[in-house]
Amino acid sequence: MKKILLSVGAVTIIGFGSPFFHDTTYAERNLQDIQSERAEIKANLSDAEKQIADLLIDLEEIEQEIEKVNQALKENQKMMQKTEQGIKDTEDKADKLQKEIEELEEAIEIRYNILKDRVASYQKNGGSISYLEVIFGSKSFGDFISRVTAVNKIADSDANLINQQKEDKKKVEAKQQELLDKLEELKEMKEELEGMQATIKEQKAQNEEKRAQLKSKQSELVALIEDLQIEDSRLATLEANIRQSYQPARNTQVASTSASNKSSGNKSGGQLKQLSNTSNGGGNLSTVVNAGFAHIGTPYVWGGKGPGGFDCSGFVSWAYAQGGYSIPSSTSALAGVGKRVSPSEMRPGDIVFFNTYKTNGHVGIYIGNNQFIGAQDSGLGVASMNNSYWKSRFNQVRRVVN
């Protein structure tokens, strides 16, 4: 595309300097070539913008999917933490019950040994006081009955205590088994949650990879659009210069043409001229509009007012200076220059304002086709005013040059 552009430019300049400068057919052929190439560029621009629009939809959908996945990860993580705490609490309870079981077993063993010793004492006649000594040491029949009853109560009490302890042990063991079953269930749940977490993370990785691919493709398309816009702007300037500089003469003789040029005060010798139909006070608005194209990609620098780096208002001031106009270099001051015009009356060279971090926080220069050139965070570049971000923040248009 650039080779074609250079070829057209070279042929045009040579043509203007040759004896056939006023050859209408020749000039029309050059204009047709430029117009044909511009039509192709505009078709490519339209296609690229459509692809970006589709990409933005895909990006919005993938962002929503990533948000859902992130939320699922958080919820799943909460469940895992809750499950892990449940496992810990259950293990602590099971350990406590195990100690209780061990204490009951020890108590049962002690009671059992005491009862066994008491039963064995029935077989003994000497030594420590036995059940028989208690019974036969009675002084009367009534005392005997009382002693037998007391001994039986003690024996029955010991037996009941052992039975009660055995029942308690069974209950504790049952409760412990219940906790162990719950613990197993919690461990299975944790394992399932870990599997879900791994699956969700994989989905997140896939979505993020897809998002990166979409953003990469978007960057490529944006770069392509910027290149196409630059080419179209150059061709538009060339086309306008041909139309403005070429004026069919009544006489086809070169000498007559030269005389006509001299009589009208034209000292250009038929060379290409800058657009001047929108200039004022010796300035040139076409130069203002086209000044930034050679510096596309220049980084954003806060307070930057030169080709090495621009901020938004610094670029606008610099571009106007290239056309011979002196205007302020701050957004607040620029908001008061010239006159405010309706968006429907916008034309190349007008200054467009957007409400970003503040009212009229961002400015650029309108270049036509609902696009503007300006110093954005990503650097100096061309942006579409149809873009949802800029469209929602557009505020006003001011015309410095009538």
3-state secondary structure of 159: helix
Residue partners of 243: CB distance under 8 A and separation at least 6: 31
3-state secondary structure of 311: coil
| Residue scoring higher pLDDT (155 or 336) | 336
127/143 Cα distance (integer angstroms)? 23
Q: Which residues of 73-92 are buried (b: 16+ CB within 10 A; e: fewer)?
A: beebeebbeebeebbeebee
Q: Residue 381: in which H helix or E strand, if any?
A: strand 379-384
Give the range with max mean pLDDT: 32-46, 106-120, 229-243, 355-369. 355-369
The C-alpha angle 33, 34, 39, rounded to 5 degrees, equals 100
| Token pair listed for 64 | 């929503």
Q: Residue 20: in which H helix or E strand, if any?
A: none
Give the Å distances, CA to CA, from 320 to 180, 236, 257, 351, 352: 81, 19, 35, 10, 14
What is the pLDDT at residue 136? 65
Segment 315-336 shows an average pLDDT of 93
Instruction: Calculate the CA 392 to chain-centre distance.
Output: 19
293/234 Cα distance (integer angstroms)? 9
Give the position of tokens 């493709």: 217
When pLDDT is cut at 50, 70 and 90, the band that residue 50 belongs to is confident
Residues 333, 342 contacting (CB under 8 angstroms): no
Give the range with max mean pLDDT: 94-108, 237-251, 266-280, 327-341. 327-341
| Token pair listed for 287 | 């130069």
Give the position of tokens 């929602």: 392
H-helix segments, 122-140: 131-136
What is the pLDDT at residue 321? 95
Residues 381, 292 contacting (CB under 8 angstroms): no
Tens digits of residue pLDDT in 202-260: 888 988 998 899 889 888 888 888 888 888 777 877 777 676 655 443 333 333 333 33
Residues 212, 39 contacting (CB under 8 angstroms): no
When pLDDT is cut at 50, 70 and 90, the band that residue 397 belongs to is very high
Q: If we measure between CA atoms, which residue out of 201, 208, 104, 91 comes closest to residue 162?
A: 104
| Token pair listed for 221 | 């398309």
290/230 Cα distance (integer angstroms)? 9
| Token pair listed for 213 | 């691919």
362/379 Cα distance (integer angstroms)? 13
When pLDDT is cut at 50, 70 and 90, the band that residue 283 belongs to is low
Residue partners of 390: CB distance under 8 A and separation at least 6: 354, 372, 383, 384
Torsion sign across C-alpha atoms 231, 237, 239, 245 = negative
* pLDDT more than 70, % of the chain: 72
> How much is the mean pLDDT over the chain?
77
What is the pLDDT at residue 49? 84
Count of CB atoms situated within 10 Å of the CB of 18: 12
What is the pLDDT at residue 282? 47
Number of C-alpha atoms within 13 angstroms, CB side, residue 64? Answer: 6
Least confident segment among 43-57, 109-123, 185-199: 109-123
Segment 294-299 shows an average pLDDT of 92
Locate the domains of the chain by residue range: 94-211, 275-402
DSSP 299: P
Tens digits of residue pLDDT in 173-215: 888 898 888 888 888 888 888 888 888 888 889 889 988 998 8
348/308 Cα distance (integer angstroms)? 24
φ, ψ of residue 374 in degrees (nearest 5)? -165, 170
Least confident segment among 60-69, 266-275, 299-308: 266-275
Torsion sign across C-alpha atoms 195, 199, 200, 204 = positive
Q: Which CATH number fits domain 275-402: 3.40.50.620, 3.90.1720.10, 3.30.460.80, 3.30.360.10?
A: 3.90.1720.10
Label residue 281 exposed, middle or buried (CB < 10 Å: 0-12, 13-18, 19+).
exposed
